[in-house]
Structure 1
Amino acid sequence: MITMEDIVKEGHDVLKQKADEVSLPPSKEDQDTLAQMLEYVKNSQDEKLADKFNLRPGVGLAAPQIGLSKRMIAVHFTDFNEREYSYGLFNPKIMSHSVEETYLPDGEGCLSVDREVPGIVPRYARITVKATTLEGEEVKLRLKGYAAIVLQHEIDHLNGVMFYDHINQQSPLTPPANAISAEEI
Structure 2
Amino acid sequence: MITMKDIIREGHPTLRQAAEEVAMPPSEEDKEILKSLLEYIKNSQDPQISQQYGLRGGVGLAAPQINVPKRMIAVHTKDTNGDTYSYALFNPKIASHSVEKAYLTSGEGCLSVDRAVPGFVPRYARITVKAFDIEGKPVKLRLKGFPAIVFQHEIDHLNGIMFYDYIDEKDPFKEPEGATPIER
TM-score over 0.5 (shorter chain): yes
Answer yes or no: is 1:13 the counterpart of 2:9. Answer: no
Aligned to 1:154: 154
Aligned to 1:65: 65
Aligned to 1:170: 170
Aligned to 1:55: 55
Answer yes or no: is 1:33 the counterpart of 2:33. Answer: yes
Q: Which amino acid aligns with 2:100?
A: E
SS in 1 for 2:36: helix
* Structure-2 separation of matches of 1:80 and 1:121: 19
SS in 2 for 1:108: coil
Answer yes or no: is 1:93 the counterpart of 2:83. Answer: no
Q: Which amino acid aligns with 2:126?
A: R
* Structure-2 separation of matches of 1:101 and 1:66: 30
Relative to the length of structure 1, the TM-score reads: 0.97
Is the CA contact 1:41–1:59 (under 8 Å) kept in the aligned structure 2? yes
Q: 5+ residue gaps in structure 2?
A: none
- CA deviation string 1:126-181 (max 9, x = no partner): 00000001132211100001111000000000000000001011110121010011
Question: Cα RMSD (Å) of the superposition?
Answer: 1.0
Divergent runs of 4+, >3 A: none
Report how many aligned residue pairs link the two structures.
Answer: 184
Is the CA contact 1:80–1:183 (under 8 Å) kept in the aligned structure 2? no
1:182 Cα deviation after fit = 2.5
Q: Which amino acid aligns with 2:144?
A: K
Aligned to 1:77: 77
Q: 5+ residue gaps in structure 1?
A: none
Relative to the length of structure 2, the TM-score reads: 0.98
* Structure-1 separation of matches of 2:82 and 2:137: 25
